[in-house]
Amino acid sequence: MIPRSAPSREFTQSTPAKQQGALAWLHLDLPLISGLVLLCGFGLIVLYSASDQSMAQVERQLIRLGLAFVVMVVMAQIPPQQLRRWSPWLFGAGILMLIAVLIFGHTGKGAQRWLDLGFFRFQPSELMKLAVPMMVAWFLSSARLPPDWRRLLIASLLIIIPVLMIAKQPDLGTSLLIASAGIFVLFLAGVQWRLIAGFVALLAAMAPALWYLMRDYQRQRVLTFLNPESDPLGAGYHIIQSKIAIGSGGIYGKGWLNGTQSHLDFLPESSTDFIFAVLAEEFGLVGILALLTIYLFIILRGLYIATQAHDSYDRLLGGALTLVVFVYLFVNTGMVTGLLPVVGVPLPLISYGGTSLVTIMAGFGILMSIHTHRKLLPT
């Protein structure tokens, strides 16, 4: 099962074996984990302010983060070959659970997302955030790259089917993230540029059709995005208040705990989807540049790990998982700053809430595994 090939240069470079002590033993990547700890620490500081100094909320988030780090460490122990073997099974299980959600799913906030398993509620769409890129990477890496058009078509179906099922729940944000994860695998696999151009053209052509498939609230979001002032007390309120928070923060911000927009509740969802605006209000442009620098460092490190991976599956999966984190970041910040329509995507590792946190950290665990298990390969 494991591809055996001539040793490439990468295996002669510094291996994790040369990293010191516990981190190496735990298969953890020091630069990545430093970036993540820094980011989560920053996030907790902002959350303390955004939650109106609720230590209880910060503690709950801290517990979730701890759990997510444990998941990350666990994932880092699983060799990528193992993940690759599990890919089709995981994907299959995910599809079955999505079907179950559509049939018996628990409805929360007007959308069916949860599967109540009795002892805990599980969101299969979270699993698919990992399972879809794994499956597509597994499928594509099993043959010569770049894929021919037949394999490309099958890979597209592997993406589209779960995406549509999740979009039907409806969960636009998650389906967008899953679709992008799958598409990143295709892009990294070297799909020809003319196909990419064709795909973009097709998407543009389908936009009107998409309009008809959207639910009313989704259409409203698009309309509000195009002109938030048209409905300042209704749907446009979020964006207007968010822009006021960011703009009034200025270069240096109003200072930690001094943001009026968030503390006086003008800013909705201040500790979840709109936490970026709290940060912008209290820490200003300087704080935002610091945050974006940490994100950029983490993303570049992830992409570097992908380029250093030893086989196509690892490379495709590592690259796609990293880029998905950027999609999270950009969709969220784009929404909060009014560049993009309102789509419920959290600011990764900073927004209050646990579900996506665990998935994202699991993805970083996979990245670490990819990077630290190379030495186990025979040379």
Partner 1 sequence: MPESSFKDHVRESRTLTSRVIISAAVVLILLGTLVLRLAHLQITNHSHFTTLSHENRVKLLPLPPTRGLIYDRNGVILAQNLPTHSLEITPEQVRDIDQTLADLAKIITISEDNLKRFHRLRKQKRRFDSIPIRVRLDEREVARFAVNRHRFPGVEIQARLLRNYPQGESMAHLVGYVARINQQELERIDTSNYAGTSHIGKTGLEKSYEDILHGTVGMQQVEVNATGRIIRVLENYPPIPGQDIHLHIDASLQAIAAEAFGEKNGAAVAIDPNTGGVLALVSKPGFNPNLFVEGISSAAYSALQQSDDNPLFDRALRGQYPPGSTTKPFVALAGLETGTITYTEKKFCPGFYQLPKHEHRYRDWKKQGHGYTDMEKSIVESCDVYYYDLAHDMGIDKMSRFLRPFGFGQKSMIDITGELRGLLPSREWKESTRNIAWYPGETLITGIGQGYFLTTPLQLASATATLATHGILRTPRVVAQITGTAPSETEKPLQPEPTQLPAINQKNWDDIIFAMTQVVEGVRGTARHIRTEEYRIAAKTGTAQVFTVKQDEEYDAETVAEKMRDHALFIAFAPVKEPQIAIAVIVEHGGHGGAVAAPIARTIMDHYLLDNKQLTPGDQP
3-state secondary structure of 98: helix
Per-position DSSP letters for 281-314, written without gaps between them: HHHHHHHHHHHHHHHHHHHHHHHHHHHH-SSHHH
Say whether residue 248 binds partner 1 (CB under 8 A).
yes
Contact 268, 301 (CB under 8 A): no
- The long-range contacts involving 173-176, CB below 8 angstroms and separated by at least 24 positions, are 173/331, 173/343, 173/344, 173/345, 174/113, 174/125, 174/126, 174/128, 174/129, 175/125, 176/327, 176/331, 176/343, 176/345
Nearer to partner 1, 338 or 354 (CB): 338
Between 129 and 310, name the residue whose CB sits nearer to partner 1: 310
Lay out the site mask for partner 1 across 18-37 (x = CB under 8 A, - = otherwise).
Answer: --------------------
Q: How many CA atoms lie within 13 A of 169 on its CB side?
A: 30
Whichever of 90 and 316 has its CB closer to partner 1, that residue is 316
CB 129 within 8 A of CB 62: no
What is the x/- site pattern for partner 1, positions 312-331, by CB under 8 A? Answer: x--xx--x---x--x---x-
CA distance 58 to 53: 8
Which of 180, 261, 356, 359 touches partner 1 by CB under 8 A?
261
Smallest gap from residue 247 Cβ to partner 1 (A): 3
Single residue of 111, 245, 275, 342 touching partner 1 by CB under 8 A: 245
- Contact stretch for partner 1 (CB under 8 A) within 32-40, 73-81, 141-149, 225-233: 141-149
Residue type, 271: S
Among 41, 66, 92, 190, binds partner 1 (CB under 8 A): 190
Cβ distance to partner 1 smaller for residue 31 or 354: 31
Q: Which is nearer to partner 1, 204 or 251 (CB)?
A: 251
Between the two ends of the chain, the Cα-to-Cα distance in Å is 16
Applying CB under 8 A, among 3, 41, 198, 232 the residue interacting with partner 1 is 3
How many residues make contact with partner 1 (CB under 8 A)?
57
d(CA 344, CA 176): 10
State whether the Cα torsion 297-302-307-309 is positive or negative. positive
Residues in the site for partner 1, rule: CB under 8 A? 1, 3-6, 8, 142-146, 184, 187-190, 241, 243-251, 260-261, 263-266, 280, 284-285, 288-289, 292, 296, 299-300, 303, 306-307, 311-312, 315-316, 319, 323, 326, 330, 333-334, 337-339
